[in-house]
Amino acid sequence: MHFSRAAVVFALVVTVCRAAVVIENGFPILWEKAPALLSELPQADGVVKLDPWDYLQRMAMYRLMINASNPYMSSMGPGANENPLWALPLQLGWKLRSGRLVDPTGVNTCGQESSSPVCIATNSWWGCVNYYLSVVPFLAAVEAGVVGDGQAKIEIQVPAELATNYCSNTCSITHPDAMSKWVKFFQSLKTISESEVTDDEKKDQILGLMWSAELASLDSAANTCADKRTLYSKPEQSFSESWLSSAQYVGAAHFPSGMEKTVQFMAPLPSRVLQETDSPPNIADLSTEENHTLYIFGWMTTANKLLGGSLTSMWQRAMCSSAAREKGRTLLNDLLFNPQFATSSMLSILTEMITKC
């Protein structure tokens, strides 16, 4: 079973040119080395002591969340890995392999493959953003009783110098919007899975709640991690900005972020940190697919700025129904994988979709 699943995912990656390293052995990077049970994590006096600057412990949070929520995800599809939370560990693995969890200042060797490969640098903007996509949903899953059956006691280890930016056992005070939306997501899973509506409706409801929570996490991250982005080159800063913005589009379209679909969409992401001399879409050591993705990401961000933010708002207004969101997902696919797609037609397509809402 593992072999067939790995073969399907491998085929998807090859289809779009295997640029970014997203999986190994059919799973997110180092997935099988991460603890799969709360009892396997460091503990003291009955309290689980999680270190979120250890890559394997962040990956353990994802294993626990996915395993605990899988029973409620049958409406996502017939595959074994349709749980939309798979996108989160896949993203973390890409950040590790592309060098985005390394200290951009070079002050220490945290995150470097040759010395501290599973260390997440506290200066990493990407690691900072991922904190809000790992620790916050994990604490919410514990609070909702999905992980730990309501009995688990969790303490997140936070270095003293970072205490004001991060939370140790709940994020309800420092990041109330993100925390409440993740709690709602996890609390709603059982009710939705047992409801009388169709599987398509269940799927759309679950994806809507998850993306609402994920966007709230990214809003928190954008504010808290902003100073760390200035530590990177201008091209990497631009890419990170457009990467954040892209979530508004995939979120509004309720992108079904199971493993296979996520691997397909992540494969053309840039496989290394961008340098000052990089000028997409003409970066010689990146693939055609990576250059195209950087171009599209940059085009969407630039177009949105020139339009005073109206491209994003138009997109969100156009995603007004399940059928519209399906069309939106097709548009995203065309943007990323069809070089002949005319980006200039985007506004007219969205305008037409809005008139039908």
Mean pLDDT of the chain: 91
Structure confidence at residue 163 (pLDDT)? 75
Q: What is the rounded radius of gyration, in angstroms, for the C-alpha atoms of the chain?
A: 20
pLDDT of residue 19: 64
- Segments forming the whole domain that contains residue 56: 2-355
Instruction: Taking residues 241-248, report their average pLDDT.
Output: 96
Tell whether the model's pLDDT for residue 11 goes beyond 50. Answer: no
pLDDT of 345? 92
- Beta strands at 43-44 and 23-24: parallel, antiparallel or unpaired: unpaired
For the cut 90, the answer to whether the pLDDT of residue 142 exceeds it is yes
The string of pLDDT tens digits covering residues 180-238 is 999 999 999 999 999 999 999 999 999 999 999 999 999 999 999 999 999 999 999 99
The larger pLDDT score, comparing residue 116 to residue 250, is at: 250
Peptide bond into 137 cis (omega under 30): no
Residue 149 pLDDT greater than 90, yes or no: no
pLDDT digits (tens, 9 = 90+) for 161-182: 777 778 877 788 889 999 999 9
User: How many domains is the chain partitioned into structurally?
Assistant: 1
On the question of pLDDT at 7 being above 70, the answer is no
